[in-house]
Amino acid sequence: MSDEQPISDESSAALIERIRRLERASRALDPGSGRRKTLRNAVMASSERHLRKLHGQKGYVAGPDQGAGVLSLPIARAGHDLADVIALYEREVVQPGAHPSAPSHLAYIPGSSLYHSALADFLAAISNKYSSIFFSSPGAARLENMMVRWVADLVGYPESALGSIVSGGSIANLTAIVTARDARDVRSGDVPRAVVYLTTQTHHCIQKSLRIAGLGEVQLRYVATDARHRMRPDALATLISEDRARGLLPWMIVATAGSTDVGAVDPLEDIGDVAEREGCWYHVDAAYGGFFLLTDEGRRLLKGIERSHSVVLDPHKSLFMPWGAGVVIVRDGRALMESHGTSGHYMQDALRDDSEISPADLSPELTKPFRGLRMWLPLMLLGTQPFADALEEKLLLARYFRGEVAKLGFEVGPAPELSVVTYRWAPQGMPLEETDALNQRIIEGTHADGRVFLSSTMLDGRFTLRMVALSFRTHKRNIDMALRVLHEQLVRIGLVERPAAQ
């Protein structure tokens, strides 16, 4: 370090004086206990205002400004007033749009925002434990691996399995696909001959992951589905043998355990037979449906998931965590590590200690939030039973909704396997374009009303309405509200008679 230059010509006394001044000036970054209390009280009060309103909270708040007021306070050299900033957040960020923490959110795949997890996130951020590397944070690394192990046991994977808690299902699927690519040695020259088998129900993040993984040119085979939108194993087997005969490389089968659109669970056992016979990598995307394994019905439905080579489950969906948690597990954990293992000269101290696997060796991420804690704290405090009960309640609520929405005159889709129900207004003899337009009017009416948040999809080319119950906060009264809102829309549009005044 002999060629080091002084940062300026000033005397050492002047240098020390400048350092002291900057220390004082930057002290705002490190609030003392009094200021911490003020900050904490303001944040806690805001969170309490939110939670107290949740039960009557609209599922969707339509507004002309859509949070544009956020831009009214610029980032400047000096900070703004705490009360002003919190008020701006509540008005411009929390209020507009969908409310994924509210029980009336019955659209897309609802989130939940488990309070225990929010507090765990706070604790994790305060300690800032580096859960990526065992040497740095041995307890955090063990805890993170323990949570992955818990999920692996739930799936029924053997001891060889390893996995990672990443930000969500998309990155989890990407991690699995990269692992499958490397494990089966799909080189760049092989890509145009490699074949992936999926269905039209497969989540679009699979195609996106393939592109990101440099596999955009693989052959995609959309396997035929049955009346419940589930992959047909016989059709799968036929496609694979045809592809083989043509000199292609049947590489990976992607089954879905709870499709986002309709909650369809592919026949995992039978697909497992085909995968084994044909030597294909078998991936199961259970991002939405995975934690239904905590229920008896879910275990029966997802039987065969343990035969897969890799699996994805989203704790931020069916385990009620706030957004930001997806789990990927690979049955042969070595394959995951071979694709994601790390090294680096500056990490030489860390890499010497191998008594526990470092989560960074199993993930595309190095530095990452300590996500294990947001799973661990609630499971530690509550056990698994309340989760199982809440999920079973959601299965029954879906069944209840289907029966009741049919009584309103809607045509209903197949009995739900999980907690998604599809339905549409389709009177006999009405032309298709007309029913599509009517269903669009119904869903737009529900959005303008906002008391519950419902969504729609295109199913077999038809505009179809969906109701998804997934939040632990969603109960029968919210489903009844959805039914009331739908009925009011039918009356408004003139599809049914206004009920006689009571």
Ligand X SMILES: *Cc1c(COP(=O)(O)O)cnc(C)c1O
Could you list the residues that contact ligand X (CB under 6 A)? Answer: 109, 168-170, 173, 203, 205, 256, 259-260, 285, 287-288, 314, 326
Of 103 and 168, the one with the shorter C-beta distance to ligand X is 168
CA atoms within 13 A on the CB side of 373: 22
Smallest gap from Cβ 311 to ligand X, in A, equals 11
Smallest gap from Cβ 321 to ligand X, in A, equals 11
Cα 179 to Cα 338: distance, rounded to the nearest angstrom: 8
Give burial (CB, 10 Å; 0-12/13-18/19+) of 78: exposed
Token pair 């003020």: residue: 38
Of 164 and 259, the one with the shorter C-beta distance to ligand X is 259
What is the side-by-side order of every strand in the sheet holding 455-459? 411-412, 420-424, 462-468, 455-459
Smallest gap from Cβ 190 to ligand X, in A, equals 26
Smallest gap from Cβ 288 to ligand X, in A, equals 4
Of 175 and 260, the one with the shorter C-beta distance to ligand X is 260
Runs of H (alpha helix) within 165-222: 169-183, 205-212
Of 169 and 359, the one with the shorter C-beta distance to ligand X is 169
N residues, the chain = 502
Smallest gap from Cβ 261 to ligand X, in A, equals 9
CA atoms within 13 A on the CB side of 417: 26
Smallest gap from Cβ 46 to ligand X, in A, equals 26
Report long-range pairs for 177-180 (Cβ below 8 Å, ≥24 apart): 177/206, 177/209, 177/210, 177/213, 177/215, 177/252, 177/283, 178/213, 178/339, 178/340, 178/364, 179/310, 179/330, 179/335, 179/336, 179/338, 179/339, 179/340, 180/251, 180/252, 180/281, 180/283, 180/309, 180/310
Of 110 and 413, the one with the shorter C-beta distance to ligand X is 110
457 Cβ contact partners less than 8 Å away, ≥ 6 residues apart? 261, 262, 422, 464, 466
Smallest gap from Cβ 286 to ligand X, in A, equals 7
Of 261 and 436, the one with the shorter C-beta distance to ligand X is 261
**Which pair of structure tokens corresponds to residue 333?**
């954990």
Smallest gap from Cβ 222 to ligand X, in A, equals 16
Of 168 and 322, the one with the shorter C-beta distance to ligand X is 168
> How would you write 14-60 as a 3-class SS string?
HHHHHHHHHHHHHHHHCCCHHHHHHHHHHHHHHHHHHHHHHHHCCCE
Query: Residues 7-41, buried b or exposed e (16+ Cβ, 10 A)?
Result: eeeeeeeeeeeeeeeeeeeeeeeeeeeeeeeeeee
Of 218 and 327, the one with the shorter C-beta distance to ligand X is 327
Closest-approach residue to ligand X (CB): 169
Of 172 and 442, the one with the shorter C-beta distance to ligand X is 172
Of 111 and 378, the one with the shorter C-beta distance to ligand X is 111
Of 170 and 310, the one with the shorter C-beta distance to ligand X is 170
Give burial (CB, 10 Å; 0-12/13-18/19+) of 248: middle
**Which pair of structure tokens corresponds to residue 196?**
């992936």
109 Cβ contact partners less than 8 Å away, ≥ 6 residues apart? 260, 288, 317, 468, 470
Smallest gap from Cβ 335 to ligand X, in A, equals 21
Smallest gap from Cβ 146 to ligand X, in A, equals 22
Of 133 and 177, the one with the shorter C-beta distance to ligand X is 177
Cα 465 to Cα 488: distance, rounded to the nearest angstrom: 16
Of 316 and 340, the one with the shorter C-beta distance to ligand X is 316
Smallest gap from Cβ 488 to ligand X, in A, equals 30
Cα 413 to Cα 333: distance, rounded to the nearest angstrom: 39
Q: Is the dihedral of CA 260, 336, 270, 222 positive or negative?
A: positive
Smallest gap from Cβ 198 to ligand X, in A, equals 11
Smallest gap from Cβ 330 to ligand X, in A, equals 17
